[in-house]
Structure 1
């Protein structure tokens, strides 16, 4: 028997006309060997697997017939990902990534596979870095608002960014408590304050707002000799919300119509000191022009 030690009859496959003629419907059941022919295996010619006439004791591991295009990246258990139906992975790609500790969420869920698996054409998938910088180093280096490299930011992108976010702009970075970003400060670009550096910047208002201080004319802060501690009068919501305590500074409380007029209406020529506090000192013309009575 050229087929070796087999347990089925010759006429299961052959007929009496010739050994070379194989019956269209073979009576032999391949599942008897412990290797049922299902999926693509049911369609291939016998000689595709049985290279010679010895049919018994043929190795049945996938890699015995199929070249491992992954070159051992995932071991020899092809069936952990593939089935006899086709070479497509039998796992949902999202399920597979989750099982490997890298769930596809946010923009990762719509990215092309080869955006991360750059050697996909070579069927290399294992050992792809899972740290953000493994794929996003160019984003890190080219970021300008703020400049991550200049600032010496950590390469751990997730300390500020989240994979579930729609883009890089949804940062979760929290400004240090010593200078929490409130009001108008929370709305401006980082580069507005951090023009060249991040560490070691003064948190005094005048360090950023000296030009505002010098250019203010109502009242003229520089001329009046106001202190540069802006927070004495202002908050971080708006410059116009000044809270200058006129009573404490001059012993002249602003009440009634005095509350709504501009400073220069009384402080003519930017004079701030030695002004009269009696009504006649400012309202002499109104007094002289009054006719009723």
Structure 2
């Protein structure tokens, strides 16, 4: 009786192996006595892996030594791997990708090895907007968070445009309503990139008369002992 059972077991194993070699998974599972629980291998079949043929991983019916890491199969030969324009990273595939689909990515910046612009170029990931400040500085010079773009720590290094291209009242603080009327560039008087106060006044570019600024508020005006006159300041005061 024992010998009879052993013979039946050998026949079942042979049928299962024949099913795998012929590509008939149903035959293999039936011969093995029902569906196989893949959870017992510590590699659960989920997502896109459910529909993959057994022999795609178990070549020639070999089960022992089958790789369990993503990169071992997703190497561009056995299965699709990293594309040439993949984000440079040392992280494991499953750090970002799920078994359901490649495009369902939960990105982890912790192991990215390239500069921000390598991905944030408008193709792989969101890049500079059309209204972004003109600068040659790297993204991380100002954007120190990997969670959001807002609350950037502004740094003037690398800025290629003039002050007014940003300090226009929209992107950044611009001239106030009481600012001196002038055609001069901001940097003609404002030489500091950390404060507006302490400007080095230059009369170049002033488009209005002296009294528009020298009124006692914006700038020093007529003293109490000044000669009473209707003449413009510049009629007598020719020096700035």
Q: TM-score, normalised by structure 2?
A: 0.48
Higher RCO (CA < 8 A, seq sep 6+): 1
Q: TM-score, normalised by structure 1?
A: 0.41
Q: Which of 1 and 2 has greater Rg? A: 1
